[in-house]
Amino acid sequence: MSALEEYWPQLLGGLGMTVLITVLGLVLTIIVAFAAGLARLSRLWVIRAPAYLFIEVFRGTSLVVQLFWFFYALPFLGIEFTPLTAAVLVLGLNEGSYAAEIVRGTILSRPRGQTEACIALGLSPGRRMRRVLIPQSIPAMLPSFGNVFVDLLKATALVSLVTISDLTFAAQTARNFSGETTIIFSTILLVYFALAMLLAGLTRFLEHRFAIDRKATLASPRWWVFERAGVR
């Protein structure tokens, strides 16, 4: 316990960095997921093809290699990122590529009758997607998004490879100087578990918040969405 008390300030500093990278990475993941996922649904191949290539490249290559590429290789091509920027970019793009397929697959799984109803009501493709299909799809996306968020949190343990002193790096440093392996790594194991439970709790809250049947006390879920679209 003495080693834990001695290195607790460093561990707290590493925890703060881990939380910061996780939050920034989650924001980027959501942006990338919807941008790439919707692009994959485009009828134009000039939009659909780059999105497909991006998703397959980031899903098909190692996260560690991507970190090294962004931080160590790109400077030779004249593109240089700070360690924090490189870490957030790689985590957001990597997890966003997985989440993009969640977005695409969930929207495609909507009943065809919803699209046909939108067409019959004269909604443009953009308004159809923005006001009906995406709101209907978000509740179904959230459980899978929760898995992506937890996976991103765990992936932050790799950012020390680009010289960031995160929670795992701080624990490794404390262990190297104190020799106390069990107590230090047991502590950060519990910390990561607590953070994962917070993300899981946030996901459950959002599932309840965006649940369509929660909104539809007087009308059916489908017609509630059409009312939100401005169609009576």
**Mean pLDDT of the chain, nearest integer:** 86
The structure's pTM equals: 0.84
Question: What is the Cα–Cα distance from 81 to 85, expressed in whole angstroms?
Answer: 6
Question: Sorting pLDDT into bands at 50, 70 and 90, what band is 217?
Answer: very low
Which residues, including other chains, have CB under 8 Å from residue 212's CB and lie 6 or more apart? 135, 136, 139, 221, 224, 225
CATH code linked to domain 2-228? 1.10.3720.10
Question: What is the Cα–Cα distance from 166 to 100, expressed in whole angstroms?
Answer: 27
Domain boundaries, the chain: 2-228
Q: Report the pLDDT value the prediction gives residue 224, as an integer from 0 to 100.
A: 42
- How confident is the model over 164-176, as pLDDT tens digits? 999 999 999 888 8
